[in-house]
Amino acid sequence: MKVFQHVSDIGPLDEALKEAFNIKQDRYQYERLGRHKTAMLIFFNNSLRTRLSTQKAAMNLGMNVIVLDVNQGAWKLETERGVIMDGDKSEHLLEAIPVMGSYCDIIGVRSFARFENRQDDYEEIILQQFIKYSGRPVFFMESATVHPLQAFADLITIEEYKKTERPKVVMTWAPHPRALPQAVPNSFAEWMRVADVEFVVTHPEGYELDPQFVGDARVEYDQMKAFEGADFVYAKNWSCPGVTLPDRYGQVLDDYHKWMDWTVSDRQMAVTNNAHFMHCLPVRRNMIVTDDVIEAPTSLVIPEAANREISAIVVLKKMLESL
Ligand code: CP
């Protein structure tokens, strides 16, 4: 595997899940595979889970790991071609990328949407430059549009906890005071459409996700109706994807106070099939979800985060095998 961006990159999902559960039995069984290989994890944005779980996964595989916080200690990077670099940016990404590639065997990159230009974000211009100029396999650690390591961990968690062969999985938008990216809901939708689940998305009008990710999944604007009989509730905020409202791309459409009844609480959970609650974290309590729901025994936020180590091992293992 040379690039990990979309669900199709991992190959057949049933085989990837089998691999994940095998690794869960013994997460150090491939510790010789990464000997004398180096993973470089490059962060343009903050992280807790992705940084720690991916670092741990690489170490489990016997790899050396270099973590770079671009905004803390590295030269400030210019990303646009044609710019006269007379400002505060001392280095261009087009030199920095091959240099970084020369010190490692596999590169992971986190670079969020900038919300300046929808086309730039959805064309993944930063990550595409890493793919083109690093000379190394590149995996996405949350980009402008996708967060596949998270979606894979979410799927592993659903497989572990499902009580029926084909569970109903509801992804719900929830209120938030700031404009958040669409990467997590995009990837979750993309992966759920391939997984063997009944998938429903619910959000207020204007928050329609890009068709390349949501496809023909059922969209239900009535949140309570969407929750009926759900086995898993996956909550997430996202800003306007600019699909039905192109001029509002990357914006919060209304003051969040208007949408506080979308906060996942016992009221919505009461109409589910005793659903498990899921969220990728970090989560703002009593905005996205109430204390009671996230602390309930049915909440899976901690095992879900723990499975990030497993999804990262599977991905890194596949990349090591392709070197
Ligand atoms: N879920 C997730 O990616 O968490 P971090 O932003 O802390 O890495």
Residue 23: what pLDDT? 98
Indicate which residue's Cα is closest to atom 4 of ligand 1. Answer: 49
Tabulate helix, strand, coil % of the chain (nearest 5): 40, 15, 45
β-pair type (218-219, 232-236) = unpaired
Residue 179 gets the label, from left (phi > 0), alpha (psi -120 to 50) or beta, of beta
Prediction pTM value: 0.97
> Does ligand 1 have an atom closer than 6 angstroms to the CB of 311?
no
Closest C-alpha among 170, 173, 191, 140 to residue 239: 173
pLDDT band, very low/low/confident/very high, at 116 (cuts 50, 70, 90): very high
pLDDT band, very low/low/confident/very high, at 73 (cuts 50, 70, 90): confident
Tokens of 101: 């590639």
How far, in Å, from the CA of 283 to the mean position of ligand 1? 10
Indicate which residue's Cα is closest to atom 1 of ligand 1. Answer: 280
Average pLDDT over residues 43-49: 97
Average pLDDT over residues 51-59: 98
Average pLDDT over residues 134-142: 98
How far, in Å, from the CA of 46 to the mean position of ligand 1? 8
pLDDT > 90? residue 117: yes
pLDDT band, very low/low/confident/very high, at 266 (cuts 50, 70, 90): very high
pLDDT band, very low/low/confident/very high, at 226 (cuts 50, 70, 90): very high
Percentage of the residues of the chain whose pLDDT score is greater than 70:
100
Tokens of 234: 């996956």
Cβ proximity of 261 and 208 under 8 Å:
no
For the segment 199-212, what is each residue's pLDDT rounded down to a tens digit?
999 999 999 999 99
For the segment 285-296, what is each residue's pLDDT rounded down to a tens digit?
999 999 999 999
